[in-house]
Chains A and B, each alone.
Chain A
Amino acid sequence: MLNNKEYLNKIFQSNKPLIIYKTIGGFDVYTDFNERIVLNSKNFKSFLNIKCNKLNSKIKELNCYVGFFGYKLLCKNIDIKLPKQQTSNFYPGLVYKPQTLIKIRKNITIKSLLKNFRKKIPPQKKDYHFHEKKFNLNLNESQYSNLFEYFSKKIKLGETYQIKICQTYSNKSHIDAVNFFWKLMSINESPESFLMRDKDYSIISCSPETLITKKKNTIITKPIAGTLNRTKKMTTKYAMSYFKKNEKESKEHNMIVDMERNDLSRICKSGSVKISKLKSVEKYRDLYHYVTEIKGTLKEKTSNHDIISAMMPAGSVIGCPKINTLKLLNSRERLNRNIYTGSFGYINANGDMRFNIIIRALLNFKKRTEISAASGVVIDSKAKKEYKENYIKAKSLLDLFKI
């Protein structure tokens, strides 16, 4: 019989659908899915409010759905229309119900609803993997600048105060997702990293941004606004003083803090929304981030759908004010964002949930990989700098393809 480690390696080398999610002190691996639901704007609300409450697994950690909600689904959910865009017809949203959870910490422990889970491993995969080293970019610098100028005018007219222009890198590839994921983790183990793999697609992400942590009636969000390119000699102390002195980064951050306070206030008890940690610096391989934590107590009878609708799509990756900024973005973006700026996470039957913002992510689908990045246009932004920032944000993912 296989021991836990051997079993886990066998799964990684197989074709078995699985999900990996970074957690404190390690990773959770979900597998043996007995339900897979493709979400769309018709079934989204009933999935959140009815299906999620009906779960009844014996094991608490497995009493959940894990998966993602795409950008378009989240827009439609709050009645924001999207025009016809170029699309690869990827799923609007996908969730899975796991029967086995493998916890990777110092040791590997396994919880499963199946007696014979160790025997449920398909034969070694025969997939042919390949990838191009180079990527195409959907907007070149001059196209980006044009869009930038257009949105800058809108800021001067007060139609938006901050707007995030998205760029997408793509190439031809069919990747070994698990292999890529651990490579990514070895260089950039971000707190919201995840992998989703199924027969027809894979997603890997080193997202740093937590959108929702909900336990009982307490909800926390941790928006990031402010990015500094990190060099080897730089210290966190330097990064802190850079952000503090930099008026543009501070103002951009302030705006996101007030916006996230607002989104929480929609669903929280009056007076309960508090900033619990204002403006701290977090360090990553290629960059520093400026982060704030905001907390609130949910109103009684707030449904899962109420929470998702108030918080998603996440303001910090869209801009502000959310509704009008989404309308402006959607009127100009020609390429579907797919998973980018959607959310990945889980909802437990007891109502607890954790969701991130899907950024720093790659989607491998139909022998094509796409990686998107966006940075904020505010009144003091410079097109060239923001264009470069998008590259910095995508870099650790793009680098995986260089080998």
Chain B
Amino acid sequence: MIYVIDHEDSFTYNLVHLLDNFAPTYVSNYFNIDKKKLDTCKIIVFSPGPGDPSNYPETQKIYHQYKGLKKIVGICLGFQQILYGEKGQIIPQKKIYHGYQSRIKVLNGSSLFKPNKILLGGRYHSLKLKEPFSHQNLKITMRCVETNVAMAIEDTINNVYGFQFHPDSFLTVDGKFLIQKILQSK
């Protein structure tokens, strides 16, 4: 089972329908967690949502509690929540991308996607990861071609993954494939 923690976003259920292709998916609000289900699920997904990671201490707690024990996937805000949990700083960006289709490049360090491949992804974010950011296990594996902003992360040791863009958006080409790769990685 996949457990989606919803941060009251208006895109969460697009993601849920994508995930449902691969495993039964349960959704709850971040402030209304079913602990039993969270314990039994195989994968935890942090949904997109408004605001910044510091607004959601409950999700931070869950991240630290389950990191390394279960696969954790973060989308948009969820992606930032993972980085924030790893001491990354999340800051406003100059150009804001809401409803924007960007060209995104896969970097050499990716273990899931073909390096140098260019993807088209839909974006809805005001904030970004402050760089330089370095981490022992967590690697930045995709970047925006235009602005170089971090677009994906992979930590193959702890099984933590994330996208800053929305694989669930109709603006993303073949988002289902992107999700599939992450869900089926070991």
The stretch of B36-44, B123-131, B135-143, B156-164 in contact with A is: B123-131
B16 lies within 8 A of A321 (CB): no
A251 lies within 8 A of B20 (CB): no
Q: How far is the CB of B175 from chain A (nearest CB, A)?
A: 11
Q: How far is the CB of B6 from chain A (nearest CB, A)?
A: 10
User: Within 8 Å CB of B12, what residues of A?
Assistant: 262
User: Within 8 Å CB of A266, what residues of B?
Assistant: 13
Is the CB of B96 closer than 8 A to any CB of chain A? yes
A161 lies within 8 A of B98 (CB): yes
**Which positions 40-56 of chain B face chain A at CB distance < 8 Å?**
49-52
**Which positions 84-98 of chain A face chain B at CB distance < 8 Å?**
none
SS class, residues of chain A in contact with chain B: helix
Bitwise interface map of B from 47 to 70 toward A, beta carbon under 8 Å scored 1, else 0: 001111000000000000000000
Cα distance, A252 to B100, chains bound together (Å): 9
Q: How far is the CB of B23 from chain A (nearest CB, A)?
A: 11
Q: How far is the CB of B11 from chain A (nearest CB, A)?
A: 5
User: Within 8 Å CB of B74, what residues of A?
Assistant: none
Cα distance, A162 to B96, chains bound together (Å): 12
B51 lies within 8 A of A157 (CB): yes
A253 lies within 8 A of B99 (CB): yes
Is the CB of A265 closer than 8 A to any CB of chain B? yes
Is the CB of B14 closer than 8 A to any CB of chain A? yes
B49 lies within 8 A of A321 (CB): yes
A254 lies within 8 A of B13 (CB): no
Is the CB of A75 closer than 8 A to any CB of chain B? no
Q: How far is the CB of B71 from chain A (nearest CB, A)?
A: 21
User: Within 8 Å CB of A161, what residues of B?
Assistant: 50, 98-99, 124, 126
**Which positions 130-186 of chain B face chain A at CB distance < 8 Å?**
166, 168-171
B52 lies within 8 A of A271 (CB): no
Is the CB of B122 closer than 8 A to any CB of chain A? yes
Is the CB of B17 closer than 8 A to any CB of chain A? yes
Cα distance, A161 to B49, chains bound together (Å): 10
Is the CB of A156 closer than 8 A to any CB of chain B? yes
Given A157-B92, A160-B50, also A262-B126 (CB < 8 A): no
A158 touches which of B50, B122, B171 (Cβ 8 Å):
B50
Is the CB of B21 closer than 8 A to any CB of chain A? yes
Q: What are 14 A-to-B residue pairs whose CB atoms are below 8 Å? A: A155-B96, A156-B96, A158-B51, A158-B77, A250-B99, A254-B170, A258-B99, A258-B122, A258-B169, A261-B170, A263-B10, A270-B16, A378-B99, A379-B126
Extra 20 A-B pairs, beta carbons < 8 Å, given A158-B51, A262-B11, A270-B17: A155-B98, A157-B51, A157-B92, A158-B52, A158-B77, A254-B99, A255-B99, A258-B124, A258-B169, A258-B171, A262-B10, A262-B12, A262-B13, A270-B20, A271-B20, A321-B49, A323-B10, A324-B8, A378-B99, A379-B96
